Amino acid sequence: MRFSRIAASINESATLRLNQIAARLRAEGEPVVHLGGGEPEEKASPAALQAAMDLLRTGEIRYTPAAGTPELRKTIVEYHERVYGVRVEPSHVIASSGAKQAIMVCMHAVLDPGDEVVFPAPYWVSYPEMVKLCGAVPVAVPPRDASMQPTLSDLEARVTPRTRMILINSPCNPSGAMFSDEFIRGVVRLCEDREIWLVIDDIYHQLVFDGRQPPNPYVEARRNPDESRLVLVNGVSKTYAMTGFRLGWAVAARTLVTHMASIQGQQTSGASTVSQAAAAAALRGDQGCVERLRASLERKRGIMLESLSALPQVHCAPPQGTFYCFPDFGQYERDSQKLSDFLLEKVRVVTVPGREFGLDGHLRLSTCGTAEDIIEGVRRIVWALDPHGGRELRLGSRTVVRDW
């Protein structure tokens, strides 16, 4: 059978594959600890659940406009002004089936084959594959040091005449690093001056720790949104623990949104009617659930870092946001895929290899689960890597004997 070059070039999502492996092992009764997940354990926004149930009871579950319902787009406008201090119009907003689709239709709207997209490493696993789906070329910018903070000069050095887009995710999946105000302002200026599209994936913008405030990219953006190259992507998946609703959005110039809506209309039509109603309710409703989630994640970050301190050769820059950390296990094993496979096979702990994020030697560990899972998962990792950890380890109802 013959398949397209794009199909042959795209890799399976590592995180989704590991979710499937964890689910299968649990179904088989294995005592798996999943430290590779990307969705919080907390329940979805109560306001969102109520709105979804109310709509379902009407039985009126119909198509919506490709760019989203008027209600949701208006609510996103209000949310955008509340969070970023910038007033836009509903015509600047497109709602999609997740922030991932919003980024994807944006790429389809502006990229031609051979164009380049620049983004810092470590990066979310999907970015390079999404770029390749457009026939474009992903260009990763490696970090300069263990802080995982990119420098503007390093980023600018990767910009060429073929650079059509720069993609920024801060706080960052997988490292939890939040990029500085100076860096974000510099990238905005660079893109506005050179007419490069700047997509800011702000999906974790409210899950920030230690009293910090995330940088506001609009400080340096052109005042008229129809003249700006800034595309702000967000969604309800992370902040409102609504991953399964698959609802995200982008705020951008009207002309870009128009093209994105045309593409999305041919791909999937509008996002789910139920998900749009739920998202609008979450954005308008009591925001206490967001702070409770943020505080819980900050607490579990501390538990993760304290647990990892039992491995003195593992370095981990403290995450400033998200629900991940990205420790460097290179002193034990530079091949992160080999290490991840070893931990899954020997002690049934699911981790995500750093290679998938553009930085080998690291593992992405999640704080999405319970504190007990974090403590138990790291306990198993410590035993597996510490030669003085003893001969036996209790895993659920059975005992594993060290034979390596």
Which tens digits make up the pLDDT trace of 122-140? 999 999 999 999 999 999 9
| 255 three-class SS | helix
What are the Cα distances from residue 396, in Å, to 30, 31, 94, 288, 380? 8, 6, 47, 36, 12
Residue 399 pLDDT = 84
Q: Tell me: pLDDT of 155 over 90.
A: yes
Residue 337 pLDDT = 93
CA 94 remoteness from chain centre: 19
Structure tokens at 180: 């500085």
Q: Tell me: pLDDT of 389 over 80.
A: no
Lowest average pLDDT, out of 5-19, 213-227, 229-243, 372-386, goes to 5-19
Answer with the residue of higher pLDDT: 388 or 140. 140
Residue 339 pLDDT = 96
Length of the chain: 404
Residue 22 pLDDT = 80
Contact 49, 246 (CB under 8 A): no
Distance CA 247, CA 234 (A): 9
Residue 26 pLDDT = 82
Percentage of residues in the chain having pLDDT higher than 90: 84
β-pair partners for 166: 118, 198
Percentage of residues in the chain having pLDDT higher than 70: 100
What does the pLDDT look like over 322-353, one tens digit per residue?
999 999 999 999 999 999 999 999 999 999 99
Q: Tell me: pLDDT of 246 over 80.
A: yes
- Give every CB contact of residue 136 below 8 A, 6+ residues apart in sequence: 107, 111, 112, 113, 114, 115, 116, 117, 164
| 356 three-class SS | helix
Structure tokens at 242: 């609504």
Question: Which residue, 239, 201, 9, is CA-closest to 119?
Answer: 201
The whole-number average pLDDT for the span 76-100 is 97
| 142 three-class SS | coil
pTM for this entry: 0.94
| 395 three-class SS | strand
Angle at CA of residue 155, ends 331 and 13, nearest 5°: 60
Lowest average pLDDT, out of 28-42, 292-306, 316-330, 343-357, goes to 28-42
Residue 400 pLDDT = 84
Residue 190 pLDDT grade (very low, low, confident, very high; cuts 50, 70, 90): very high
Q: Tell me: pLDDT of 16 over 80.
A: no
Q: Are strands 230-235 and 163-169 parallel, antiparallel or unpaired?
A: unpaired
What does the pLDDT look like over 202-228, one tens digit per residue?
999 999 999 999 999 999 999 899 999
Residue 386 pLDDT = 87
Mean pLDDT for the chain?
Answer: 95
Residue 25 pLDDT = 83
Residue 267 pLDDT = 94
For CA atoms 318, 291, 34, 125, the dihedral sign is: negative
Residue 309 pLDDT grade (very low, low, confident, very high; cuts 50, 70, 90): very high
Answer with the residue of higher pLDDT: 402 or 221. 221
The whole-number average pLDDT for the span 47-69 is 97
**Secondary structure E strands in 209-319:** 230-235, 248-251
Virtual torsion, Cα 123, 376, 145, 341, nearest 10 deg:
-60
